[in-house]
Amino acid sequence: QQQVKQSPQSLIVQKGGISIINCAYENTAFDYFPWYQQFPGKGPALLIAIRPDVSEKKEGRFTISFNKSAKQFSLHIMDSQPGDSATYFCAARGTRDSNYQLIWGAGTKLIIKP
């Protein structure tokens, strides 16, 4: 079965530091890699996404780095703030062969210490 492995499971970062969450996928074709952010009591919300023809995408303090050959992608949060404390999910969308199904990572609980 297709999998997306996300690490770490939890992460504590000091305010102002860099938070890094990693995801790796197995040998299959994916064409879209979104990251979702979930606050307690809320549903996940799209944070940032990247396609495999791009190695990096930056939106404000959030950056996705994508390494196609290593089948890895990561989320970097620069100047992490207490308001960034949330659970983060990576995902990968399959191609037409898999009916474009989204495969999700297990999530990372991020805590930013003031």
**Least distance between other proteins and beta carbon 76 (Å):** 21
| Structural tokens at position 81 | 């703030």
Residue 112 has a CB neighbour count (10 Å cut-off) of 20
| Residue nearer to other proteins on the CB measure, 44 or 77 | 44
Query: Which residue ranges make up the site for other proteins (CB under 8 A)?
Result: 1, 6, 32, 34, 36, 41-46, 49, 89, 93, 99-107
Cα–Cα distance for residue pair 103/111, rounded to 1 Å = 24
**Least distance between other proteins and beta carbon 60 (Å):** 17
Place of tokens 């196609």: 68
Helix and strand counts by DSSP (H, E) for the chain: 0, 11
| Residue nearer to other proteins on the CB measure, 49 or 111 | 49
**Least distance between other proteins and beta carbon 114 (Å):** 25
Q: Nearest-CA neighbor of 36 among 90, 77, 84, 85? A: 90
| Residue nearer to other proteins on the CB measure, 17 or 109 | 109
